[in-house]
Amino acid sequence: MRQIHVLNGPNLNLLGRREPGIYGAKTLADIEADLREIAAKSGVSLTFRQSNIEGELVSFVQEAGLSGADVILNAGAYTHTSIALRDAIKGAGARVIEVHLSNVHAREEFRHHSMIAAVSIGVIAGFGANSYSLALRALLDLSAA
């Protein structure tokens, strides 16, 4: 069965409580449930993880890439700072879609640059929790093509 890993970075465990005006009211568990429903209908298996620790995210990316699984990655603030995540994506050959709940380009200047976009196959930002389902559908469409 095809594997897709959904990896979430720092502070995403606080979704639903953290600045709902920016990030929405859905929790990470709500997003996971939505994605599992789509995945079940599509015959794919999801691995869903969250960590506030950069090194753990690096290990998650490596594991996914080396096993041939696709990745939906919301690296949170590590998007803008982590050369380690960039190197893990590239080194493990992970096929990654970078995801953000908010439109990072309409926010603070420091959020406008992504360290991982150049090694990702695409970036989806600004659609709230739907950013994840759009990424999942994109990966499913890529496989069908």
User: Could you give the residue numbers annotated as active site?
Assistant: 23, 100
Q: What stretches of the chain adopt beta strand conformation (E)? A: 2-8, 44-50, 70-74, 95-100, 122-125
Question: Which two tokens mark 103?
Answer: 């439109």
CB 71 within 8 A of CB 93: no
d(CA 22, CA 96): 24
d(CA 88, CA 10): 17
